[in-house]
Amino acid sequence: MLQNLTGWHALIILAIVVLIFGAAKLPALAKSLGQSMRILKDEVAPASSDEQAPAAAPAVAAPETTAVRVAADGAPQRATP
The model's pLDDT over 4-63, given as tens digits with 9 standing for 90+, comes to: 778 888 889 888 988 888 888 888 888 998 999 999 998 887 665 555 555 555 566 655
- State if pTM tops 0.75: no
When mean pLDDT is compared over 5-9, 29-33, 66-70, 72-76, the highest value belongs to: 29-33
Provide the pLDDT for residue 36: 93
| pLDDT (average), residues 61-74 | 63
Q: Phi/psi class of residue 20: alpha, beta or left (left: φ > 0; alpha: ψ in -120 to 50)?
A: alpha
Residue 22 sits at φ, ψ, to 5 deg, of 85, 145
Domain ranges of the chain: 24-52
Tell me the H-state helices in 1-81: 7-21, 26-52
